[in-house]
Structure 1
Amino acid sequence: MLNALAYLVGLLSLVIVIPAQLPLLGAANWVALPIIVIGVVLGALSSRDGGRNFCLIVLLIAVVRLMLGGGIL
């Protein structure tokens, strides 16, 4: 059950992260980061690790975009 919730949270955050890849929308990644962390925690509490890994990939995409845009030093 927690794995499915982690997938749902990951999909929700992916919907936020994908448009944030466009110029001038990169600040939306800051909104997505806490949501992604909740998904990672839910995935870590699950007995399976697919949801956690999906959220970690979305987290990687968001953090790389923030680093390229200068949002994380």
Structure 2
Amino acid sequence: MLNILSILTGLVSLIFVIPGVVPFLGWANWLALPIALVGLVLGVLSSKNAGRNLNIVILIFAVVRLSLGGGFI
């Protein structure tokens, strides 16, 4: 059950990360980070790895995008 919740929170944060790739919409990644962290915690508490891995990928993608844009753009 926790794995399903982790995947769902990962998909919600992915909704914010995808538009955050566009220039001047990088602020959306700041909204995705806390959601993906919650999903990561749920994935760690789960017995399966799919939700945890999804949220790790989303977190890495959002952090890299924010670092390329200087954290704002």
Question: Any stretches of 5+ residues in structure 1 without a counterpart?
Answer: none
Cα distance in structure 1, aligned partners of 2:37 and 2:5: 13
Give the % identical residues. Answer: 58
TM-score (norm 1): 0.95
Give runs of ≥4 in structure 1 deviating > 4 Å.
none
Count of matched residue pairs: 72
Instruction: Provide the secondary structure at the position in 1 that maps to 2:23.
Output: coil
Match of 1:47 in 2: 47
Cα distance in structure 2, aligned partners of 1:8 and 1:21: 21
What is the one-letter code of the residue matched to 2:14? L
Question: Any stretches of 5+ residues in structure 2 without a counterpart?
Answer: none
What is the one-letter code of the residue matched to 1:49? N
Cα distance in structure 1, aligned partners of 2:18 and 2:34: 16
